[in-house]
Amino acid sequence: MRARSFACIATVMAPCLLAPMFAYGGQDGAYEPPRTQWGDPDLRGHYLPGAYQPMETPANDSWRPPEGANRGQGAAFSRFFEPDPDAPPRAARVTTPMVVDPPDGRIPFQPWAAEQRGEVMARQDDLEYLDPRVKCLPSALPRAHLPVGYNTYQIEQIPGYVVMLYEWNHLYRYIPLDGRPHVNADIRLGMGDSRGHWEGNTLVVDVTNFTENTWVVGHGAPPEGAPASALTTGHGAFHSDELHVVERFTLRDADTIHYEVTIEDPQVFTQPWTIAFDALVRAPEDHMLFEYACHEGNGRNISLMTGTDIDAARVHATR
Amino acid sequence: MRSLFAVYIVLAMMPAAAAQDHAGADPYQRVCQLCHGSEGRGDLGPTLVPLGFDADYVLAVVREGYSQMPPISRRELSDDDVRQVVAYLESLSSETASAPALSYDGPRTAAGRPDLNGIWQVLSTAAWDIRAHNAQDGVPAGLGVVEGNDIPYQEWAATQQQANYASRMTADPVRKCYLPGVPRTTYMPFPFRILQTPDHVIMTYEFAHVVRIIYTDGSPHPLPNDFWMGDSRGHWDEDTLVVDTTHFNGQTWFDAAGNFHSDTLHVVERYTPTSSYHIDYEVTIEDPNVFTRPWTMRMPLYRRMEEGLQLLDYDCVDFILQSLTRQGPEEGGAR
């Protein structure tokens, strides 16, 4: 819990008091989850994305996309995941922001980073700045758990490990629970390097060793009625190689996993910040993860954006 | 029965096909061999090695007859003789079964299956060429992994393979960072991790974070969608994990040498652990649109033993993007 203690030291007053508000595990009256045969809380199963809600408090004035910016969502959409229009809504739409700390519900960018984010969003028609997920790079964390209509999840457990599988772009991560240290700092991983432990019924995962080419957050569900200029999706929230993420997964009832994440990156943000929402809702019995071949269908898009034949580029790169 | 009696007498006088010390060899040769063949290999009657029946069942069939097989009296073959014959056939069965592979004595799951959890890797040059090949710049030589070194291409397909080979630097789907397909994903020169649960065997590969979720719950192949990695359904045949994969899209290759298939590819993989550290990996390839008959590849999988080993990243999409934007990751900043 380095992130939380950092928060307490750095901002002295209020945030320390906030910490218990987000903790679901081990409280009186809290849901008591089933256990695996070896005694860990049992998170296993298939899940769909949970609550759709804005990332930040909408703010008209603090950020506007410059003239001519490409504001299309751009994300690939697979027909497999198209929501059934007749199905009852599974997740409630929540209108409060996911950002619960700082209390203003805004991502605490340093001024230069807020400016940079504006440029990132203004240049989404440039491959260099394009949303890394649209380029089929890994989601990183916590972005992999933010709700999008074409991602579902499978959680498996074996003694000593929790394993999370993501349908979107066939990502996965093994979370060892044996207290081993993080991998060497020179190693960089698209989904970061995860180390977990149980605090009561809550799975706490410390994630470091990220690459620099992903976004921290960002999802595809701006709230209805949000002004067009409000940057409520978390898009463009880049990070440095000092990104440090602490996740807390807690079953709040038999079918819902509450997700609370503290994000720390002293290069980009003024303070550690926390998002909290119901990220995972249990899927129907017959749910299975389908193959999500992302990059395989992207070559034409990339060729159009760069004016380069992707095959030829590959050959040049290896000669 | 009179004519059979005559045959028994003749048989009893014939020299045994092979020296057999087993107490059951003599009654077998005297009574059973005429129809069931030397050493139970089958002839008029079915093969009896490996013997799929217990002694009580055999005894009942011997006394009562079954289909073409006549009943045999206790005078010809006593109950003890039958039990000796069963023991003899079982001894032949175990010799046959243990010949190609040692029986598995490694760890097992709660369900009694071999525990395959862990990080594995193929050590061969199959990723470059599944057939025997000499070294080239950056490509180690290899004896090949195809049985008989013979891929039974149809004529047009042999020509196509040669064209693929000639254009492999641009045409190989893996060079474009496309999903490698099955079985190529197994023998890419990268480690992969097996996650075994009661309902699945999940294979996660370091190359391009490929995932195969192999259902072992008896469920059938799903709707007729097609996939780069196909749809995999598995079951256990004794200690062998058998994985049946279909529903391919026909866009993947078997190696970097242009060996290929169509969307009617049907792959059957057999993962037979022979110790805690080795899996005998056998793959049968069937594709009536490309080959004249099914063919087989075989190679060992080795358990990676380094302490603290974990799968890392080979995110080749990023390498392609870097080559397009002509900058390394350290220059990439907030991409």
Instruction: Quote the pLDDT of residue A6.
Output: 36
Q: Determine, for residues B227 and A165 on separate chains, whether the beta-carbon distance falls below 8 Å.
A: no
Q: Which residues of chain B have a CB within 8 Å of the CB of A137?
A: 315, 317-318, 321
Q: Determine, for residues A296 and B179 on separate chains, whether the beta-carbon distance falls below 8 Å.
A: yes
Write out the two tokens for B154: 């149809």
B66 Cα to chain A: minimum distance (Å): 45
Chain B stretch 192-231, residues whose beta carbon is closer than 8 A to a beta carbon of chain A:
193, 195-197, 200, 202, 204, 209-211, 213, 215, 222, 225, 227-229
- Whole-angstrom distance, CA of residue A151 vs CA of residue A292: 9
Give the least confident one: A80-94, A305-319, B258-272.
A80-94
The letter for the amino acid at A299 is G
Contact yes or no for B302/B122 (Cβ under 8 A): yes
> What domain count does chain A have?
1
- Tokens 């243990």 correspond to B98
Q: Spell out the domains of chain B, with CATH numbers in brackets.
A: 2-98 (1.10.760.10), 118-325 (no CATH)
Contact yes or no for A116/A238 (Cβ under 8 A): yes
**Is the pLDDT reported for residue A269 higher than 90?**
yes
Chain B stretch 304-323, residues whose beta carbon is closer than 8 A to a beta carbon of chain A:
308, 310-313, 315, 317-323
B83 Cα to chain A: minimum distance (Å): 43
Most B CBs within 10 Å, among A125, A186, A213, to test the B interface: A213
- How many angstroms from the chain centroid is the CA of residue A215? 9
- Whole-angstrom distance, CA of residue A60 vs CA of residue B135: 63
Q: Determine, for residues B323 and A316 on separate chains, whether the beta-carbon distance falls below 8 Å.
A: yes
Residue B247's pLDDT band (cuts 50, 70, 90):
very high
Instruction: Quote the pLDDT of residue B195.
Output: 97
Q: Which residues of chain B have a CB within 8 Å of the CB of A43?
A: none
User: What is the residue range of A140's domain?
Assistant: 2-318
In what helix (H) or strand (E) does residue A261 lie, and over which residues does it extend? Answer: strand A256-264
The whole model's pTM is what? 0.76
- Tokens 């579902």 correspond to A152
- Whole-angstrom distance, CA of residue B270 vs CA of residue B201: 13
Residue A94's pLDDT band (cuts 50, 70, 90):
low
Find the farthest-apart pair of alpha carbons in chain A and give their distance in angstroms, rounded: 64
Looking at residues B157-164, what average pLDDT do you find?
Answer: 98
- Whole-angstrom distance, CA of residue A120 vs CA of residue A237: 9
**What's the helix, strand, coil split of chain A in %, to 5?**
20, 25, 55
- Whole-angstrom distance, CA of residue A259 vs CA of residue A252: 10
Residue A188's pLDDT band (cuts 50, 70, 90):
very high
Q: Which residues of chain A have a CB within 8 Å of the CB of B325?
A: 127-128, 306
What digits encode the pLDDT tens for the residues B128-152? 999 999 999 999 999 999 999 999 9
**Is the pLDDT reported for residue A216 higher than 90?**
yes
DSSP code per residue over B118-129: EEEEE-SSTTT-
Q: Tell me: ipTM over 0.85.
A: no
- Whole-angstrom distance, CA of residue B311 vs CA of residue A190: 12
For residue B334, what is the nearest residue in chain A, using CA coordinates? Answer: A238
- Whole-angstrom distance, CA of residue A116 vs CA of residue B147: 58
Helices (H), A123-257: none
> B118 vs B108, B186, B323, CA distance in Å?
13, 14, 34
Q: Which residues of chain B have a CB within 8 Å of the CB of A187?
A: 312
Q: Determine, for residues B213 and A310 on separate chains, whether the beta-carbon distance falls below 8 Å.
A: no
Q: Which residues of chain A have a CB within 8 Å of the CB of B327?
A: 128
A5 Cα to chain B: minimum distance (Å): 28
Q: Render the burial of B62-76: b for 16+ CB within 10 Å, e for the rest.
A: beeeeeebeebeeeb
